[in-house]
Amino acid sequence: MDIFNNAQKAWLLLEDGTVYEGYGLGSDKDAIGELVFNTNVVGFQEILTDPANANNIIVETFPLTGNYGVNHENDLHESVTARGWVIREWCAQPSNFRMEGRIDEYLEKKGISAIFDLDTRAITRKLRDEGVQNGLITRTNPADNKQALLDQLKAWKKPMPAWVNYNEKVTFEKLDAKYSITMPNYGIRNDVIKALMARGCKVTVVPASYTEKQIMETNPDAVVLCGGVGLDALATSNAQQTVAELMKSGVPVLGIDFGHQIMALAMGGSVEKMHCGHRGSNCPVTEQESGRTFITAQNHGYIVKEAPSNAVVSHLNSNDKTCEGLVYPQMKAMSVQFIPEAEIGQKNFDGIYEKFLGMIG
Amino acid sequence: MPLRQDIKKVLVIGSGPIIIGQAAEFDYAGTQACRALKEEGLEVVLVNSNPATIMTDKAMADHVYIEPLNIDVVKRIIEIEKPDSVLSTLGGQTGLTFSMQLAKEGFLDSHNVKLLGANPLTIDKAEDRQMFKDTMEKIGEPCIPSKVVNTVEDGLAFIEQIKYPVIIRPAFTMGGTGGGIAYNEEEFKEIAGNGLRLSPITQILVEKCISGWKEIEFEVIRDSKGNIITVCSMENVDPVGVHTGDSIVVAPAVTLSPAEFSMLRKAALNIVEELGVEGGCNCQFALHPTSMEYAVIEVNPRVSRSSALASKATGYPIAKVATKIAIGYTLDEILNAVTGTTYACFEPSVDYLVVKFPKWPFDKFVYAKRTLGTQMMATGEVMSIGTSFESAMMKAVRSVELGLDSFNLPKFADKTKEELLELLHNCDDERMFCVFEALKKGIPAEKIHEITMIDCWFINKLDNLRKMEEALANCDELTEELYLRAKKYGYLDSTIERFSGKKVEHHRKGVYKMVDTCAAEYKAQTPYFYSTYDEENEASEFIEEHKSDKKKILVFGSGPIRIGQGIEFDYCSVHCVWALKKLGYEASIANNNPETVSTDFDTSDRLYFDPLTPEDVDNVLESEKPWGVVVQFGGQTAIKLTKYLAKKGVRILGTSADSIDEAEDRERFDELLGRLGIPRPKGETVLTKEDAVAAANRLGFPVLLRPSYVLGGQNMIIAHTTAEVEEYMDIITSHMKDNLVLIDKYMMGKEVEVDAICDGEDYLIPGIMEHIERAGIHSGDSISVYPAQTLSQKIKRTIIDYTGKLARELKVVGLVNIQYVIYNDEVYVIEVNPRSSRTIPYISKVTGVPMVEIATRMMFGEKLRDQGYGIGLYPEAEYVAVKVPVFSFEKLHDVDTLLGPEMKSTGEVLGIAKTFDEALFKGLVAAGYKMKHEGGVLVTVRDTDKQEVVPIVEKFEKLGFTIYATAGTALTLHQNMIAANTIRKIEEEEPNIITLFDQNKIDYIITTSKKGRKPQRHSVQMRRRAVERSIVTMTALDTANALANSLMSNRTVNDVELVDITKI
């Protein structure tokens, strides 16, 4: 009963007016975000720090969280976090030789507002049936001014994350680098940088506001687009135009997750918001050329609806047949909706990085 | 690739009788396989010697052979049926081994039979020690490092690389003699030196000791395209050192961070890819608790107990998918039957935690050594599903039927901290209870971890239960908040009341969540539920959404498989559900056994996977609101619920609660017999030791003692002396207080058993069975013959008459099982069980009378006369069926193999033939008797058996066997002109019996003794030594006689007719 000791009441309010009562954990500040569910059994820390979740409140479908504690190496981003976390139970006495601390301390440090002791399956089913919606985690009983809160929730739009206007250029050096990769900072997962470095790449991260010209001035062998800006926030940026110019310039371009979507838009395709997204590590994707199906990790709420006319669909989701990958035969460009396998030498996985680096020639 | 066009007719080899380590999970897998094949329109030929399974049902395959699983038999079946393929990976190790042998011999090729499911190279790579090691090395997967050495120095050099501790295993010593674990050089020198001396070839294996590492399993499926997925991860609560079948297991793994998780997942995928498995595969790993070091322990390229658990834990039907892959499909073509909208090529995601808890036979074998190790000892298991480890554990401890509702085990209650610190070192079936008590006595989790190496995560979670119990005990008021928290931790109201001393004012009902393979991501169609204490009830929603005007019937299953309550009750439960569906009802099942067909997601209309205690059952009733419930097919587990259900006013279909009580309550039953004028052996009911001795003396020895409400002869003995009565009463009163003990005059006559169906007026007896062994040996352990061979018409008429009277007087509606003893040409009733019995499956199969279906029809008022099977005694079948019990003695240390009134067998086989002799021969062969026609027979019997054994030994002598006997027995044999070599007993100086054993001179042993059970007794030790050497030991003269007769008939398996039971 440790986790209930001195725990304060907290509430989760949904845009449709549903209220769930639980206990607060982590930051005691109110948190508003888009409520999405994630079906991963392990990897809660990665989910909380995936830039793609920057504007989200995550509902964990697996009821036991924090079992193995936290470790800074697990973070996918140093500063970015999800806005909130909805769980059933957290572990007050985690056990793992690598752990550096407990999840409650971590949430507090990161300023993430969480709520526990909720029926997360019930909330998941609701989101599955009714689609994602905005939610609020609060320590103040929302019954008192519910209407005002609901108005606020409905009006809430995903803001542009701070890093988009971040003006620094950062280079991750690699001894005897074979390739130089430039990544516009749309919110980059550490694991993508690590995967590229492990394959002999030097990675330069540049501000999202960089134009094609500025990017090319970094002398990249290739450009990788990945991130968490999210399309809601995209309208105000010049990213689409930059990406179109990059692709046409002849530099090899790889799009991952959001990068896949923005490339499709740049080439005249369309994207669409999903009912409740693909968020988990068990998503089957079929590679069209080989007919092989791979299990992939995904975390997205939009899909490419219509592929651009100059693109060929390379991967499809095996379940709902949505577009999971595109190649642009006239260009040196390809993109996938899922997160490519980072580890080297795994023949049972997608081999996306290898294929892409092969394009550089 | 879709279904292969070159496959039309498939042979499926089953796993044979239930033994420890190869049990009901293969009926589940085999049944799924047969159904998957038939779904594709393929013709299915099945061979399996186990008659108690669903798999050997006529409906499961087009041709069913209940024949000995013997390579020659399988070959002959292939010649008769000419299948084009054989499916190898669904029948456990047995099925796999036969398939490989057939393939390697070239038999399959020469008969144009394709091997489906696995190729011999894959199997060799997984099963051959050296090839496995080489294969793992090739792909860089670490095995447990080991090296064969011949000197201490070489050993020390090797240890330089692998570090202490190490295990030393001397080559060619019996039972690991001379081995051990060394933690430092000094210890190593001593143990290794000793081991080298003891090894006849001066050789030891030095292996890195990894006991205490985490044990993690992955279930993997791969198809011919190379698509590969992991279905489920599992973590053993008991670390490496305890067989996974004896471990408490959780799914998914909980103490791994993504780094370790993905490392092991990838290793599993790598291994399965390299082996080229097409189908299911189990990978077991040991993971160092404080580093990323790991080792591959074992790989099983077939369905297994773990795959059954993984299937039930996730909803993903591994056996079915593996079968479809074997016949050509790929994962992306197979629809996920659970969601109906997604495909089998995905990894299930769970939103709950599953706990598997083993069921051990130690409550029955009180003298067995309970230490858990690398040899599995559990006979069965339960699974529980919860939203926390705490709740799943609490459900598990209730499901496993130990009479417990928490982790407080009375025997540890008054142990001191110091004693517990000592006891924690015992790695046995009660360790988890010991850990709990240790926490209660204030021993820190870290200390417990240090001793047991159980991960602190699990210990701390158990500690949460302790804290809850403390909070309940200290509460001034049972607040709603505290109560709800206790409910969410899995406590029953009655337990909460006991701990808190407060009344539960507002009872909270459980609700149900669905097991759907995808953590609610997709809307699923599977009606597979477990209880939680939340708001939404998905079972009710499901019922609402699938509204029908059919009446809803709830069937209670039989819980974990244990000696005395085995797979046959699952057979009955499943058949009841099928009958109910056929009759137009909606049938639900409540059960908690993950190994069985009854808990397959598509067996019933709704499945409730939960414990079977009254409160748990209440929740199901609330949610399901059944029109009626069925208790008579779920063994004692279901029958036990009858009184409670009746009191609640639930409609119990079939025989009433009152009738069940009348049959089980000693006094009422005696009254009933008196009314009917049916005799039974005299008996009394007692509570204390003193009363028992007095009663025994009044009745006259020998007497039969047993607790009232028994199961499988649990704790039942025959006592010949006052001392034995006293010993027995001491054990009973220490285990179960206030349990009445029944003492009966023991009549050593012929035992006869009858299963009957009754509609309240008429009755139908599909068959009368006769036991080879006289009364005194539990019916489950006796060789049973249908139809009875030696009964006079008069006796048969009496039995039919008594059966009819009893069934009618008890107002039986449905099944009833009655056991009789024929003594001095008189028929006595031993017991009446107004429920399904162990013999139902085989009698149904042999006679063709669908007993469970008819019994189910009776429950709804149909009349026997309208069923088309007549009334009274059903005409005898053309075939004789002999059921032979199968034991798992080699798996259980210190258990006496002497048969008695307490059941000891774990499974059974059936021999079917036109004549009794041939059926007996088949039965014996199927049960594993080698039927050797030469060699030595050792005879050592108690005084009362000495005369009777003479003609039996004479038969062995005539067959040409050399006879050995202990002094007393030899004397009698000599006096009867039988040449017997006198041999010293085990307790006497060598050369003695053991010397003969070691010289491989003994092939059969005939041994009876007045006293048994206690491992210290010499007769028990002798029998144990025989088990270790796999020498056939017969502890009843009747069994020995039957074997001698069968040997004299000089048959071989090539002479017998193979019977397709679908044609009889």
Give per-residue pLDDT as tens, B430-475.
Answer: 999 999 999 999 999 999 999 999 999 999 999 999 999 999 999 9
The answer to whether B631 faces chain A, any CB pair under 8 Å, is: no
Q: Which residues of B205-216 are buried (b: 16+ CB within 10 A; e: fewer)?
A: bbbbbbbbbbbb
Place of tokens 């095995």: B143
Backbone phi, then psi, for A222, in 5-degree steps?
-160, 160
Question: Which residues of B fall within a CB distance of 8 Å from A41?
Answer: 233, 252, 349-350
Question: In this structure, is the dihedral angle defined by the CA atoms of residues B675, B676, B681 and B687, taken in order, positive or negative?
Answer: negative
- pLDDT, position B711: 47
Asked if residue A169 has pLDDT above 70, the reply is yes
How far is CA B1022 from each of CA B470, B583, B945, B1012, B1030, rounded to the nearest angstrom? 50, 55, 18, 11, 12
Question: B85-87 and B114-116: which strand pairing?
Answer: parallel
Q: Name the band, by pLDDT with cuts 50, 70 and 90, for residue A88.
A: very high
* Of B732, B19, B820, B890, the residue nearest B368 (C-alpha): B890
How far is CA B513 from each of CA A118, B116, B213, B590, rounded to the nearest angstrom? 14, 38, 34, 14
Q: Can you list the domains of chain B with their CATH numbers?
A: 9-118 (3.40.50.20), 146-208 (3.30.1490.20), 335-399+459-653 (3.40.50.20), 682-746 (3.30.1490.20), 886-1048 (3.40.50.1380)
Bridge partners for B65 per DSSP: B47, B1060
Task: Give the separation between CA B978 and CA B976, rounded to whole angstroms.
Answer: 6
Backbone phi, then psi, for B625, in 5-degree steps?
45, 60
Q: Name the band, by pLDDT with cuts 50, 70 and 90, for residue B776.
A: confident
- pLDDT, position A15: 95
Give per-residue pLDDT as tens, A281-293.
Answer: 999 999 999 999 9
How far is CA B275 from each of CA B285, B301, B898, rounded to the nearest angstrom? 16, 8, 45
Query: From the CA of B287, how many Å to the nearest CA of chain A?
Result: 12
Q: Name the band, by pLDDT with cuts 50, 70 and 90, for residue B157.
A: very high
Q: Which 3 state secondary structure label does DSSP give B285?
A: strand
The residue type at B933: H
Task: Give the separation between CA A59 and CA B784, rounded to whole angstroms.
Answer: 59
Rounded average pLDDT over A136-155: 95
Find residues 469-488 of chain B whose CB sits inside 8 Å of chain A: 471, 485
Q: Which 3 state secondary structure label does DSSP give A163?
A: helix
Orientation of helix B71-81 relative to helix B92-104, angle to 10°: 70
Query: Which tokens belong to B304?
Result: 């297994």
Task: Give the separation between CA B433 and CA B950, rounded to whole angstroms.
Answer: 51
* Of A80, A72, A73, the residue nearest A51 (C-alpha): A80
How far is CA B861 from each of CA A89, A326, B588, B855, B857, rounded to the nearest angstrom? 50, 66, 20, 10, 7
Give per-residue pLDDT as tens, B892-907.
Answer: 888 899 998 889 999 9
Instruction: Give A269-272's long-range contacts (Cβ < 8 A, gap of 24+).
Output: A269/A304, A269/A305, A269/A306, A269/A307, A269/A308, A269/A311, A270/A304, A270/A305, A270/A306, A271/A231, A271/A302, A271/A303, A271/A304, A271/A305, A272/A302, A272/A303, A272/A305
Q: Name the band, by pLDDT with cuts 50, 70 and 90, for residue A84.
A: very high
Cβ–Cβ below 8 Å for A292 and B226: yes
Question: Which residues of A fall within a CB distance of 8 Å from B460?
Answer: 92-93, 95
Residue of A nearest to B251 (CA): A41
Task: Give the separation between CA B754 and CA B833, rounded to whole angstroms.
Answer: 10
Give per-residue pLDDT as tens, B588-625.
Answer: 999 999 999 999 998 999 999 999 999 999 999 999 99
How far is CA B607 from each of CA B46, B539, B594, B598, B797, rounded to the nearest angstrom? 28, 10, 12, 9, 44
Asked if residue A160 has pLDDT above 50, the reply is yes
- pLDDT, position B195: 87
Tell me the three-class secondary structure of A227-291, residue by residue.
ECCCHHHHCCCCHHHHHHHHHHHCCCEEEEEHHHHHHHHHCCCEEEEEEEEEEEEEEEEEECCCC
Backbone phi, then psi, for B952, in 5-degree steps?
-70, -45
Residue of A nearest to B271 (CA): A348
Least CB–CB distance from A64: residue in B254, B259, B273:
B254
| Cβ atoms within 10 Å of B666's Cβ, excluding its own | 13
Bridge partners for B334 per DSSP: none
Lowest mean pLDDT among A146-150, B282-286, B550-554, B698-702: B698-702
Place of tokens 């005369």: B947
The residue type at B115: L
Asked if residue A10 has pLDDT above 50, the reply is yes
- pLDDT, position B737: 59
Task: Give the separation between CA B747 and CA B317, rounded to whole angstroms.
Answer: 50
**CA angle B847–B41–B106, rounded 5-degree value:** 85
Query: Which tokens belong to B453?
Result: 């190496």
Q: How far is CA B381 from the centre of its chain?
A: 8
Asked if residue A349 has pLDDT above 70, the reply is yes
The answer to whether B254 faces chain A, any CB pair under 8 Å, is: yes
Asked if residue B862 has pLDDT above 80, the reply is yes
Least CB–CB distance from B345: residue in A63, A125, A318:
A318
Least CB–CB distance from A95: residue in B350, B455, B471:
B455
Residue of B nearest to A281 (CA): B347
Q: What is the mean pLDDT of chain B?
A: 93
Find residues 92-151 of chain B whose CB sits inside 8 Å of chain A: none
Rounded average pLDDT over B985-994: 90
Question: Which residues of B fall within a CB distance of 8 Å from A298?
Answer: none
CB B275 within 8 A of CB B298: no
> In terms of pLDDT, which residue wins out, B814 or B731?
B814
- pLDDT, position B489: 97
How far is CA A96 from each of CA A1, A67, A71, A105, B455, rounded to the nearest angstrom? 21, 8, 10, 16, 9
Question: Which residues of B fall within a CB distance of 8 Å from A122?
Answer: 534-536
Cβ–Cβ below 8 Å for A93 and B521: no
Q: Please provide the distance, in angstroms rounded to a whole number, between the alpha carbons at the two ends of chain A.
A: 59
Query: Which tokens belong to B407?
Result: 């982790």
Place of tokens 């006289």: B774
CB B429 within 8 A of CB B403: no
Question: Which residues of A fall within a CB distance of 8 Å from B353?
Answer: 63-64
Task: Give the separation between CA B447 and CA B761, rounded to whole angstroms.
Answer: 65
Rounded average pLDDT over B357-386: 91
The residue type at B952: I
Cβ–Cβ below 8 Å for A128 and B521: yes
Cβ–Cβ below 8 Å for B352 and A63: yes
Task: Give the separation between CA A130 and CA B39, rounded to whole angstroms.
Answer: 36
Asked if residue A163 has pLDDT above 80, the reply is no
- pLDDT, position B724: 86
Cβ–Cβ below 8 Å for B535 and A119: yes
Q: What percent of chain B has pLDDT over 90?
A: 79
Q: Name the band, by pLDDT with cuts 50, 70 and 90, for residue B202.
A: confident
Query: Which tokens belong to A188?
Result: 């980059």
Q: What percent of chain A has pLDDT over 70?
A: 95
- pLDDT, position B390: 98
Query: Which tokens belong to B92?
Result: 């456990």
DSSP B551-611: PEEEEE---S-BTTB-HHHHHHHHHHHHHHHHTT-EEEEEE--TTSSTTSTTTSSEEEES-
Least CB–CB distance from B269: residue in A40, A74, A348:
A348
- pLDDT, position B175: 54
- pLDDT, position B1046: 95
Q: Name the band, by pLDDT with cuts 50, 70 and 90, for residue A197.
A: very high
The ipTM estimated for the assembled molecules is 0.95
Query: From the CA of A314, how many Å to the nearest CA of chain B?
Result: 17
Least CB–CB distance from A68: residue in B255, B331, B347:
B255
* Of B872, B752, B871, B762, the residue nearest B822 (C-alpha): B752
Place of tokens 């594709």: B40
Asked if residue A235 has pLDDT above 60, the reply is no
CB B816 within 8 A of CB B655: yes
> In terms of pLDDT, which residue wins out, A182 or B715?
A182
Give per-residue pLDDT as tens, A110-122.
Answer: 999 999 999 999 9
Q: Name the band, by pLDDT with cuts 50, 70 and 90, for residue B710.
A: low
* Of B538, B521, B542, B350, the residue nearest A124 (C-alpha): B521
Chain length of chain B: 1064
Rounded average pLDDT over B951-962: 96
Domain ranges of chain A: 7-155, 162-360
CB A25 within 8 A of CB A123: no
The answer for residues whose C-beta is within 8 angstroms of residue A198's C-beta and 6 or more apart is: A342, A344
**CA angle B885–B721–B725, rounded 5-degree value:** 75
| Cβ atoms within 10 Å of B708's Cβ, excluding its own | 12
Lowest mean pLDDT among A225-229, B19-23, B676-680, B1008-1012: B1008-1012
Question: Which residues of A fall within a CB distance of 8 Å from B534?
Answer: 119, 121-122
Give per-residue pLDDT as tens, B468-491.
Answer: 999 999 999 999 999 999 999 999
- CATH superfamily of domain region A162-360: Class I glutamine amidotransferase (GATase) domain (3.40.50.880)
Cβ–Cβ below 8 Å for A74 and B257: yes
Cβ–Cβ below 8 Å for A1 and B257: no
CB A341 within 8 A of CB B269: no
Residue of A nearest to B339 (CA): A319
CB B236 within 8 A of CB B242: yes
- pLDDT, position B169: 84
Give per-residue pLDDT as tens, B822-847.
Answer: 999 999 999 999 999 999 999 999 99
Q: Which fold has domain A7-155?
A: Glucose Oxidase; domain 1 (3.50.30)
Query: Which tokens belong to B884?
Result: 């032979």
Q: Name the band, by pLDDT with cuts 50, 70 and 90, for residue A346.
A: low
